[in-house]
Structure 1
Amino acid sequence: MRDYLFLAFIFSALPFCFFRPYIGALIWVWLGLMNPHRYTWGIAYTFPSAELVAGATLLGLIFSSDKEPPLPARELVLLFLLEIWFTITTFYALQPEQAWEQWGQVSKMLLMTFVILLLFQSKKRLDLLLITMVLSIGFYAFKGAIFGIVTGGKYTVWGPPESFITDNNALALAELMILPFFVFMAREETRSHWRLLYQLGVVLVILAIILSYSRGGLIGLVVVILLLWVRSRKKLMAMAAIGVGVFLAFSFVPPKWMDRMKTITTYSQDSSAMSRINGWQFAINLAMDRPVLGGGFGVFDEEMFKIYAPRPDDVYNAHSIYFRILGEHGFPGLFLLVLLVIQSLASLRRMRVLARGHPNLGWV
């Protein structure tokens, strides 16, 4: 029944995707982040729903006048250069079959990113995009937090199966990324019931990150909360709220969670942490051997670990976008990524300065 309902929704939405491409982009974001098809068990589980929605959206975009050229920005140039570099390294990949498959996935996402830049340039549409992103990931935060409360926090919170956020660390990272958005929306929302929902979302997202049992998630949570506090207009009130939240969280979590978090300070004795370091060293060794092109997409596998890893039998994901880019796309790929991050931060700071003194741009 779920399959039929899901597919009925997708097919009935296609005309809207064609005639209103921005709706198609929103549905594509929802499918990519929430992965609702992973909660079906039949044909819809592997049905290319995202590709179908993207196709209708792109076709509609060709004939639609409802688009504006994106503002000239260095970030767009860097994204384009990254895509070109990904293509070049894929031609010389050590594992070409896996590399081209992953290149296809990344290229589709970058293409739809450019589509979103064409379609979402007004505050109203940006709000719709933000709400879609926040609620798509927030669903798992709400679900995981409630599950954790009911079970006393004894079990790890996981994401949807066979998705980008299946792993508890990936889910915690996604929840960390939407936490500032929940704070922003709770601050800017004027309708009381929606503001209350976003405030509740802040609490549940924090709890879900904690209950993911991800040590990286906990470290990231501390950093994000500190940054939010620094940016807060009411620092004393924010500090009191943080203090109460930390007290309640640590009063709630079971001893098993505390034992796992304590290994942060003794990482050299933890097999999981050492496996990640082994993955980092693998990436460095591979990049030193192939400094320009790296190994290409899909290079983090058993065959390559036997050649480049200090511990060949310990095949593990690097859990770091920087080491992964270094291993897969060499030093030029890492340089482009770091430059993109720095340029994005600089642009955000410049926008913040320019928006000061303009009440109508306070949301920026």
Structure 2
Amino acid sequence: MQALFIFGCWASLITLGCVAPFVMALAYVWVDLFRPHDVAPALGQLLPFSATTAMLTIGAYLVLDRRDPPRLGLLTALLVLWAGWITLTTTWAMFPASAWWKWDWAFKTILFTALLPFIFRSRIQMEAALLVILCCIASNVVPFAIKSVFGGGGYGRPFGLIEINGGWGGEGSTLGTYAFACLPLVAYLQRHSLLAPSRSWLRWVYLAAPGIAAIGAFGTFARSALIACLVWAALAWWQSRRKLMVAVMMVAATAAVVPLMGDAWLARISTAFEPRQEESANTRLLVWAWTIDLADRHPAGAGFNAYLGNRIEMRNADGQEIVQEGRAFHSIYFEVLGEHGWIGLAIFFAIFAVFFLDMRRIRRKVRDRPDLEWLGDLARALSHGVLIFMAGAAFVGIAFYPLQYYLFALAVSASAALHRAAAAPAPAPAESGVAPALPMAPPQAAASAPHLAAWRVRARRPS
């Protein structure tokens, strides 16, 4: 029944996409984030969902929806350059078979990101994409939260819809980072949503979202979730108008949530402050040192999954010597550095820098446009979401997972929306205090319509 329901959801989106092509792109985002072939493995044997949906989306755009394309800005150019560079580094990878496997899905993620702004053009379309992203993230965060409340959580335990400790939905560090990175997007929808306005029962969903995200993320026992939470709390407090009240609410929420996690959670989180005393954290530090040395020896990158070549020697708490091989990077920055070199890391940072500059430019230009307040708040939400992601992902290797790339795509769509709005005159304020100008009527019209002349007199009289 679960597989039939999931297949029905996919088929419904594809059917609607034949009428509204942007829904086809929503279907691709849903498949890429929700991963129906992992939730119900039987579906993966039935149909290659990702490839099929991608081809249908491209076909629907080319046949039905090639209008008003966005300008190709620097962010899009950098994304295309990034896709080209990771292809180049794969040609000289240390482990070719493994590298080409990872390139296959990483390249598609980046390239499809460059296509999405051509499809998501209007406010409604961008909001629909946000809702699909948030629903996909919630599909795994909510089960984590429920099971953590009743079972106490745990590190490496697959509490989501995916029954493996892998992917963003099953791996705790990634899920914890995603949970907090999405909260600024929830706050934006709470204020500006047209498709899911904050009324009736939806109001309570928006209000409950931070608590659900915190319980679900902390239930993973991932230290990266705590880092993401601290950055989110700082941003939310800084943007609030009632800082004292928000600070008190956050302290109260902390006092309520932390006891639910238990002593085991506190013991694991405390190791973040003494990394040399904990084997896992110490191993990461040694892997990062090895990665810097690798990048110095291969400044143009060693290719995807270059971590398979590391060999870490260390001593455990009992003084015994331990040798570990093929330990993952556990950081997007060291992942990019080891796989694509100093050049790749520069391109990677340039993408983030241009993204933040574009979002700042949008907020500055819409400051005097009340009709575009939603666009400024969307730019702020995207900026905060990516900033939280960057903080949490500093401790998990997800540089090529889709969420941040979809936020980049929406940033390009937002820039294009600003360009279109700048080409149109700003609407007059609703309450300007100035009477509307009326065309002068010919003498015979004034004679035949004395009430119109009397209306003009009343309109000029100050209130």
- Normalised by the size of structure 2, how large is the TM-score? 0.73
Equivalent residue for 2:269, pick from 238, 257, 261: 261
Does structure 1 residue 242 correspond to structure 2 residue 250? yes
Shift of 1:248: 0.6
CA offsets per residue over residues 92-115 of structure 1, 9 Å max, x none? 111111212211211211222122
Distance 2:346 2:352 in 1: 10
Shift of 1:89: 0.7
CA offsets per residue over residues 53-91 of structure 1, 9 Å max, x none? 111111111112354322332111111111111111111
Note the residue ranges of structure 1 that are not aligned, 5 or more in a row: none
SS of equivalent residue, structure 1 residue 212: coil
Distance 1:179 1:316, change over 3 A: farther
**Other-structure match for 1:320:** 331
Shift of 1:215: 0.9
**Other-structure match for 1:169:** 173
Question: Retained in 1: the 8 A contact 2:36–2:43?
Answer: no
Distance 1:226 1:31 in 2: 33
**Other-structure match for 1:52:** 52
Shift of 1:45: 6.0
Distance 1:192 1:5 in 2: 27
SS of equivalent residue, structure 1 residue 300: helix
Distance 1:284 1:19 in 2: 51
Does structure 1 residue 362 correspond to structure 2 residue 391? no
Shift of 1:310: 5.8
Distance 2:307 2:174 in 1: 17
Shift of 1:194: 1.8
Shift of 1:153: 4.1
Equivalent residue for 2:355, pick from 344, 354, 363: 344
Percentage of matched positions with identical amino acids: 26
**Structure-to-structure mapping, 1:1-364, within 5 angstroms:** 1-11=1-11, 13-44=13-44, 47-65=47-65, 67-153=67-153, 158=158, 159=160, 160=162, 161=164, 162-188=166-192, 189-292=197-300, 294-301=301-308, 304-306=309-311, 313-363=324-374, 364=376
Question: Retained in 1: the 8 A contact 2:155–2:222?
Answer: no
Distance 2:254 2:229 in 1: 11
Question: Retained in 1: the 8 A contact 2:21–2:57?
Answer: yes
Shift of 1:319: 1.6
Over the aligned positions, Cα root-mean-square deviation in angstroms equals: 2.1
Distance 1:44 1:264 in 2: 38
Question: Retained in 2: the 8 A contact 1:18–1:56?
Answer: no
- Normalised by the size of structure 1, how large is the TM-score? 0.91
Distance 2:345 2:225 in 1: 23
Shift of 1:39: 2.5
Note the residue ranges of structure 2 that are not aligned, 5 or more in a row: 315-322, 377-463
Shift of 1:250: 2.0
